Structure 1
Amino acid sequence: MARQNLPKVETLATHQRSEAWRTDAAQSLDYPILFWITRGQGRVMVDCKMRGVGPNTAIYIPPHTLFSYEMFASPQGMVVSLSRDENAGFPNRPALLKATSVQMQSEISGLIDALSRELNELRTGQRRAVMAYAMMIGVWLDRALTDQPQGELGKSDRVLRKFSHVVSIGHRDGKSLGEFAADLQVTPTHLTRLTQNAVGKPASAILQERVIQAACEALLHTDRPVQDIAEKLGFSSPAYFTRAFQVHTGKSPSEFRKAR
């Protein structure tokens, strides 16, 4: 069964340990992911917008959406990495949903538990059952989102969302912050002011974090040479890539790969 075609269910603690680098650094995925927080406090950044999270909160992140998260106070929960299947019907916008009723909490917990059981037991019709439970999670999200209509974005929020999107899909292009800002028809200074006010980080730091996250993922999950990874991420030379990587992670790319 191919990973990209079936969901994956794990505890929040297991997911955090498997992260390529820091959870509070900007990242994006090519598949949707759902965090179901049952205990603890934290904060999540989605599309350069910071929100606090607490118990009984569902955080849904669509593919190619810039996000980061940081949890405190002995958090507990589940993480569902969903299918890339475009026909599965998952929402196309991110959501932070507070499950205020016992019914909502029981429904999502039950669906995740049932999905996890099906994934762990080889039984007749497993694939259909897995996809059915995953689609029901999508239905739960759709219904919860109807109670949280999307408001109209202000000008600053629109710029931040566009910046998040271009960084998510274009972090491998080797573009400078100035080039990204020009694409958005704003100045780098204005863009940095917006991100600093919204998430407490300059725009350049968000871009750098996404690039380093991509490097970490490539080092951990592929056998590609460091030189190839540096080239794919737009670095002018392997030496420059190594220096930048070491500044952020404290290790050279080779050391990082061996240590993990």
Structure 2
Amino acid sequence: MSKAHIHTYDICTLGMGKPASENIQVIRFTDYLAAHKDIRFPHRHSFYHLAFFTKGKGAHTIDFERFPVQAGQLYFMIPGQVHSWFFEGQVEGYVVNVAASFFNSFLQDAGYVERFPFFSGASAEGVVMLPAEASTEVEVLFEKMLLEIEATEAYSYDMLRLLLLEMFVKVSRVTRKSDTRQEPPYNYVLLSNFRKLVEQHYMQMRLPKEYAAMLYVTPNYLNAFCRHMLGKSAGEIIRDRVILEAKRLLINADTSIATIAYQLNFADNSYFTKFFKKYEGMTPEEFRKNIS
């Protein structure tokens, strides 16, 4: 697979000879790595991708942010994120691939899973370093999931749903405890709603006032709120999403800069180039050369 093209995997592609009729896979990382050597190149998934490490080191790049791999680390990735791995020596751990629809028959709230902070889509928020006690508890849950995925017992997939949700809750509690700020619940709801709107409309809507109107708050309040929660203004968050998509598209060498500018709804190629250079310190062409 060429590094100049982002390949998108679905669960069936990564099935390792096993059916994925229930849209979930649980695999030891050593087996996963042996079967899918191309994951060292940038690629993306059409499903939620979890990786937990119990041994080894290296680096993991998610949406062009680089993180060191170490034991006790748990990665949560949402569909569409571009990522690649680089490992030093042997690594051990677990991988879970799960489609968003896996929980739909089990939960009345289709958006329940998205409420967990590590599924925000922000790369750094999806990387969790677990303390020793929590790491042991999570490893036990992964082992139980491995048993269930191989079982022919009744309700095995329902048990997998329960085990995954238990893990999500445990990890969420750990991350909340490590956050010294005690935000009221409605702040997380507002932040989640804003991020969802940006994800849906960033191609066409670039002004904070447009999102503020949809959220029934003032533009000043939205900007102050975003600075409080994320250290960035609402405008910066919208802009960062546009730049991220530009970077994702620029990996595909066969797509011209002019086409990317058009896809991102810029008036012309020149305006897109100036916008990208202003915030990234290099032109789109230079960025493409640096990652090739």
Asked if these proteins are the same fold (TM beyond 0.5), I'd say yes
Equivalent-residue separation in structure 1 for 2:188 and 2:266 (angstroms): 30
Contact 2:246 2:264 in 1 (8 A): yes
AA aligned opposite 1:179: E
The residue that corresponds to 1:121 in the other structure is none
Equivalent-residue separation in structure 1 for 2:94 and 2:245 (angstroms): 20
Equivalent-residue separation in structure 1 for 2:241 and 2:287 (angstroms): 17
Contact 1:61 1:95 in 2 (8 A): no
Larger radius of gyration: 2
Equivalent-residue separation in structure 2 for 1:192 and 1:240 (angstroms): 25
Q: Which runs of 5+ in 2 are unaligned?
A: 1-6, 16-28, 58-69, 82-90, 107-111, 119-127, 151-156, 177-182
Shift of 1:170: 2.0
The residue that corresponds to 2:113 in the other structure is 92
Contact 1:64 1:169 in 2 (8 A): no
The residue that corresponds to 1:107 in the other structure is 140
User: Relative to structure 1, is the Cα distance of residues 202 and 56 closer, same or farther in structure 2, using a 3 angstrom cutoff?
Assistant: same
Q: Does 1:194 align with 2:229?
A: no
Equivalent-residue separation in structure 2 for 1:251 and 1:176 (angstroms): 24
Contact 1:108 1:140 in 2 (8 A): yes
The residue that corresponds to 1:250 in the other structure is 281
User: Relative to structure 1, is the Cα distance of residues 34 and 256 closer, same or farther in structure 2, using a 3 angstrom cutoff?
Assistant: same
The residue that corresponds to 2:196 in the other structure is 165
Equivalent-residue separation in structure 2 for 1:171 and 1:143 (angstroms): 33
Residue of structure 2 aligned with 1:5, choices 2, 11, 16: 11
Aligned positions of 1:1-260 closer than 5 A: 3-6=9-12, 7=14, 31-36=47-52, 56=72, 58-63=74-79, 80=95, 82-84=97-99, 86-87=101-102, 92-93=113-114, 94=116, 98=130, 100-101=133-134, 103-107=136-140, 140-145=163-168, 154-221=185-252, 223-260=254-291
Equivalent-residue separation in structure 2 for 1:105 and 1:83 (angstroms): 17
AA aligned opposite 1:107: V
User: Relative to structure 1, is the Cα distance of residues 142 and 203 closer, same or farther in structure 2, using a 3 angstrom cutoff?
Assistant: same
Deviations 1:30-74 (A, max 9, x none): 53232536699xxxxxxxxxxxxx973535354479xxxxxxxxx
Q: Which runs of 5+ in 1 are unaligned?
A: 21-27, 41-53, 66-75, 115-127
TM-score when normalising by structure 2:
0.54
Equivalent-residue separation in structure 2 for 1:221 and 1:135 (angstroms): 39
Contact 1:4 1:83 in 2 (8 A): no
Shift of 1:234: 1.9
Equivalent-residue separation in structure 1 for 2:158 and 2:260 (angstroms): 35
Give the SS at the match of 2:251.
helix
User: Relative to structure 1, is the Cα distance of residues 60 and 207 closer, same or farther in structure 2, using a 3 angstrom cutoff?
Assistant: same
AA aligned opposite 1:246: K
**Higher relative contact order at CA 8 Å, sep ≥6: structure 1 or structure 2?**
1
Equivalent pairs: percent with the same residue?
21
Give the SS at the match of 2:113.
coil
Shift of 1:78: 6.8
Please provide the CA RMSD for this pair. 4.7
AA aligned opposite 2:166: R
Give the SS at the match of 1:33.
strand
User: Relative to structure 1, is the Cα distance of residues 213 and 108 closer, same or farther in structure 2, using a 3 angstrom cutoff?
Assistant: farther
Give the SS at the match of 2:10.
helix
Deviations 1:159-199 (A, max 9, x none): 21111111122222243222122221222211110111111
Equivalent-residue separation in structure 2 for 1:102 and 1:160 (angstroms): 28
Equivalent-residue separation in structure 2 for 1:170 and 1:163 (angstroms): 11
Shift of 1:101: 4.8
User: Relative to structure 1, is the Cα distance of residues 247 and 102 closer, same or farther in structure 2, using a 3 angstrom cutoff?
Assistant: closer
